[in-house]
Amino acid sequence: MKSLENLFGIRRSLDIYEREMGFDRLSEVEKSVLEFIMHTENANITAITKDQYFAKYSLSTIKRAVGVLLSESIISANQSSADKRAMILSYNK
């Protein structure tokens, strides 16, 4: 039972941080994609879909989440210098 209590405490803290940062209006998948982008150097849609955490989401769901983050100017996309087909996603500080 103690583990479940600890887990709830972590979720509560996360909820507070998300509200303080203004990310509470985002869906769970949008928040997860944003966190992945902030955590991963040279993040792109392919890297997101290959991460085991995102296996439960379809490619279209990931693309839709990235689209929302781009449209709200939370992230930006720039063409990769290593692979012209890839767009590198980064957090707009």
The CATH number of whichever domain residue 47 belongs to comes to 1.10.10.10
For residue 73, tell me if it sits in a domain: yes
pTM of the model: 0.87
Q: Is the dihedral of CA 29, 34, 39, 44 positive or negative?
A: positive
Instruction: Tell me what pLDDT residue 2 has.
Output: 79
Task: Domain count for the chain, please give it.
Answer: 1
The H or E element spanning position 72 is: none
pLDDT at residue number 49: 97
Domain-embedded: residue 66: yes
Q: How far is CA 68 from CA 5, 6, 9, 27, 82, in A?
A: 33, 32, 29, 10, 26
Q: What's the whole-number mean pLDDT along residues 31-53? A: 96
Query: Does residue 34 fall inside a structural domain?
Result: yes
- Is residue 51 in a domain? yes
Domain that holds residue 64: 26-91
Residue-wise pLDDT tens digits, 47-93: 999 999 999 999 999 999 999 999 999 999 999 888 888 899 999 98
**Residue range 39-51: average pLDDT?**
96
CB crowding 10-21: b at 16 or more within 10 Å, else e: eeeeeeeeeeee
